Amino acid sequence: MRIAAALACALMASLPLSAEARVCKAWSSPVLAASIAAKPIDEASGLEASRTHRGRLYHNNDSGDDLRFFITDMAGGNLQIVNLKGPKPADIEEMSLGPCGSKTCLYLGDTGDNAGARSEVAFTILAEKKTYAQTETPLRVVRARYPDGPHNVEAFAVHPGGDLFVVTKPVDKQMTRPGPASVYRLSASQLRQTDGVQVFTKVGELDLPGLLKDLPFYGWIPTGLDISHDGKRAVLLTYMAVVELGFDLAGGVPAKLTPGENVSIFRAPPLAQQEAITLLPDDSGFLYDSEAGRKAATFPLNKVTCMAR
């Protein structure tokens, strides 16, 4: 019995922690998946690939746009504009697909705050549908605030467990001195509320300046996030890199980020102001794009796959 117990303990010790997943050992070079017309998606800031409706991409524009989103196919064609009933947002920076009860919903995050002055942010939640009308009514809008004052956020994602995670854009108003990025959570139960203002819970920090110390400061600034379908990993876009997080955010953030162990770093010549990322429907890689639409007739959508884990 003692031998069997010892063997069992040794086996358990040799297994990876349940909160961690094997990170990618080798990424492909980026390939151009599509050149998307820059009208009306002229400041692409959010991107999602549907798992329910394969071949469908969702997009949103950055600040100044109306409460709406866009649908295209994977090549950027068959454009549809979906307007939502509700007041004009301050700055929608990101979108995410995730559970909302028994449904899958699209979450639009009005979270941008370059001035660091907003008392609250908002998430507009809409059920994912096979066919959308030109104008839709959201299921609800969830208002939220941070427990320690305003934060600028361009990166958030909904976990398959239903919680929502945001990663702050840690810069001062002059955008010259970024520090570690903070990670906050809204629980699935908070996302069901329609009254009052929900309060985020801080769950940890990501020391991107330490992890990406070879890059200039804007390479440390998070601009997009997506979480895998099993929740065990995520991809975090910055202006100059993609960091694969090989751990489940629902279990917290490790005190130390170590390339090859709990993170994997993808580097390539960056796109101009790259701000949107989504995992492929099978989690084999990711797509990311650029806000270059205001300066060109099209903007690029790049694809990267993991070659080895």
pLDDT for 172: 67
Please say if the pLDDT value at position 10 is more than 80. Answer: no
Residue 28 is encoded by which pair of tokens? 């492909």
Contacts of 282 (CB under 8 A, 6+ apart): none
Are 278 and 47 spatial neighbours (Cβ–Cβ below 8 Å)?
Answer: yes
pLDDT-wise least confident of 85-89, 166-170, 294-298: 294-298
Cα–Cα distance between 276 and 94 in angstroms, integer?
A: 7
Angle CA(179)–CA(261)–CA(290) in degrees, nearest 5? 55
pLDDT for 198: 98
Overall average pLDDT of the 1-20 stretch: 41
Radius of gyration of the chain (CA): 19
pLDDT for 292: 80
Cα–Cα distance between 15 and 162 in angstroms, integer?
A: 27
- Residue range 92-105, pLDDT digits in tens: 999 999 999 999 99
- Residue range 142-197, pLDDT digits in tens: 999 999 999 999 999 999 999 999 999 987 666 667 789 999 999 999 999 999 99
- What domains appear along the chain, each with residue ranges and CATH number? 20-308 (2.120.10)
227 residue type, one letter: I
Q: Band the pLDDT of 241: cuts 50, 70, 90.
A: very high
pLDDT for 215: 95
Please say if the pLDDT value at position 89 is more than 70. Answer: yes
